[in-house]
Amino acid sequence: MADDSFTKGTKGFESFRKGAAYSLNTPQTVYAKDIVLVGGGHTHVLFIRRWKMKPLPDTRLTLISPQVYTPYSGMLPGLIAEHYTFEQTHIDLRRLCQWAGVRFIQDHVVDIDPNTQHLSLERYPQLNYDILSLDIGLTPDLSIPGAAEYAIPVKPIGDFFRQWQSLKQTVKAGQQSHYAIGIVGGGAGSIELAFATSYSLKYVTTHFTIHLFTASPYILSNYLPKTRQHVKHKLFLEQVCIHENFKVSNVCCSSIYDQHSKEVHLDKIFWCTHGKGGSWLKNTSLDLSEQGFVLVKDTLQTLKFDNIFAAGDVAHLTPEANAKAGVYAVRMAPVLFHNISAQLTGGRLKQFKPQQHFLSLLACGDKSAIGERVPFSFSGTWVWRWKDFLDRQFMKKFQQLSFNEMPSLINRYLHENTTPVMRCDGCGAKISQDILAETLQTIGVNDQAEDAVVIPWREANYLLQTVDQLRAFIDDPWLFGRIAVIHALSDIYAMGGKPHSVQVAITLPYQQPSSLKREFLLLMNGIQSELNQAECVLVGGHTAEGTELSVAVTVNGRRGLGKLWQKTGAKPGDVLILTKPLGTGVILAANKAAQAKGDRVERMLAMMLLSNQAAVPIVKKFQPHAVTDITGFGFLGHLLEMLKPEQLSVELDIAQLPVLEGATDLFRYGWQSTLQTANENNRHYLYEANQWLKEAHYPLLFDPQTSGGLLIAVSEDVANECLNALQVDYPQAAIVGKILPKREQTTTTVHLKK
pLDDT for 26 beyond 50: no
Question: Which member of 97, 427, 536, 722 is catalytic?
Answer: 427
To which H or E segment does residue 523 belong? helix 513-533
Percent of the chain with pLDDT over 90: 73
* Whole-Å CA distances, 3 to 7, 15, 176, 541: 12, 9, 76, 10
Phi and psi, residue 738, nearest 5° = -150, 135
CATH classification for the domain delimited by 147-271, as one of 3.40.120.10, 3.50.50.60, 3.30.365.10, 3.40.50.300: 3.50.50.60
**For the ranges 357-366, 376-385, 401-410, 433-442, which has the lowest average pLDDT?**
401-410
Sketch the domain layout of the chain as residue ranges: 1-28+451-565, 33-138+277-353+381-399, 147-271, 566-754
> Regarding predicted confidence, which is higher, 416 or 640?
640
User: Per residue in 707-736, pLDDT tens?
Assistant: 999 999 999 999 999 999 999 999 999 999
Res 510: pLDDT: 87
User: Per residue in 655-673, pLDDT tens?
Assistant: 999 999 999 999 999 999 9
In this prediction, residues 244-265 reach a mean pLDDT of 94
Query: Model-level pTM?
Result: 0.86
User: Per residue in 176-222, pLDDT tens?
Assistant: 889 999 999 999 999 999 999 999 999 888 889 999 999 999 999 88
* Whole-Å CA distances, 331 to 47, 306, 335, 353, 358: 11, 20, 8, 9, 11
Question: Which of helix, strand or coil describes residue 228?
Answer: helix
> Regarding predicted confidence, which is higher, 564 or 25?
564
Starting at the edge strand that comes first in sequence, how are the strands of the sheet with 109-113 ordered? 109-113, 118-121, 127-128
Percent of the chain with pLDDT over 70: 88
Res 344: pLDDT: 93
Rounded Cα distance, 92 and 597, in Å: 7
Res 743: pLDDT: 76
pLDDT band at 274 (very low <50, low <70, confident <90, very high): confident
In this prediction, residues 616-623 reach a mean pLDDT of 96
In this prediction, residues 485-507 reach a mean pLDDT of 94
Let me know: does 75 contact 84? Beta carbons within 8 Å: yes
Res 4: pLDDT: 35
Rounded Cα distance, 151 and 10, in Å: 55
To which H or E segment does residue 590 belong? helix 584-592
Rounded Cα distance, 163 and 182, in Å: 14
User: Per residue in 435-484, pLDDT tens?
Assistant: 656 665 665 656 556 555 565 566 546 788 999 999 999 999 999 999 99
In this prediction, residues 232-243 reach a mean pLDDT of 93
Average per-residue pLDDT in the chain? 87
Phi and psi, residue 324, nearest 5° = -90, 95
- 33-138+277-353+381-399: CATH topology is FAD/NAD(P)-binding domain (3.50.50)
Rounded Cα distance, 544 and 17, in Å: 9
Rounded to the nearest 5 degrees, what angle is found at the Cα of 448, between the Cα atoms of 447 and 449?
95
Rounded Cα distance, 596 and 473, in Å: 13
In this prediction, residues 80-95 reach a mean pLDDT of 95
pLDDT for 261 beyond 70: yes
pLDDT band at 418 (very low <50, low <70, confident <90, very high): very low
User: Per residue in 305-329, pLDDT tens?
Assistant: 999 999 999 999 988 777 777 788 9
In the residue annotation, 253 being an active-site residue is answered as no
Q: Do domains 1-28+451-565 and 147-271 have the same CATH topology?
A: no
Strand 453-457 versus strand 250-251 pairing type? unpaired
Let me know: does 753 contact 653? Beta carbons within 8 Å: yes
- For 692, other C-beta atoms within 10 Å of its C-beta total 17
CB proximity list for 84: less than 8 A, separation 6 or greater: 75, 78
CB burial of 351-360 (b: ≥16 within 10 Å; e: otherwise) equals: ebebeeeeeb
Res 27: pLDDT: 39
pLDDT for 540 beyond 60: yes
User: Per residue in 557-569, pLDDT tens?
Assistant: 987 667 889 999 9
Domain 566-754 carries which CATH code?
A: 3.90.650.10
Cα radius of gyration rounded to whole Å, the chain: 30
Let me know: does 638 contact 737? Beta carbons within 8 Å: no
pLDDT band at 9 (very low <50, low <70, confident <90, very high): very low
In this prediction, residues 37-62 reach a mean pLDDT of 95
pLDDT for 360 beyond 50: yes
Let me know: does 398 contact 92? Beta carbons within 8 Å: yes
Res 409: pLDDT: 37
* Whole-Å CA distances, 412 to 94, 130, 216, 596, 671: 22, 37, 59, 16, 9
**For the ranges 160-164, 293-297, 333-337, which has the lowest average pLDDT?**
160-164
pLDDT for 739 beyond 90: yes
DSSP string, 396-421: HHHHS---TTS--TTTSS-STTS--S
Q: Which CATH superfamily is domain 1-28+451-565 in?
A: PurM-like, N-terminal domain (3.30.1330.10)
pLDDT for 168 beyond 70: yes
pLDDT band at 16 (very low <50, low <70, confident <90, very high): very low
**For the ranges 99-108, 250-259, 552-561, 634-643, which has the lowest average pLDDT?**
552-561
DSSP string, 303-371: SS-TTEEE-GGGEEESSSPPP--HHHHHHHHHHHHHHHHHHHHT-PPPPP---S---EEEE-SSS-EEE
Res 443: pLDDT: 57
DSSP 70: E
pLDDT for 2 beyond 80: no
Rounded Cα distance, 627 and 650, in Å: 15
Tell me the H-state helices in 32-103: 42-53, 76-80, 93-100
pLDDT band at 173 (very low <50, low <70, confident <90, very high): confident
Res 435: pLDDT: 63
Q: For 440-525, list the strands marked E by DSSP.
A: 453-457, 461-471, 497-509
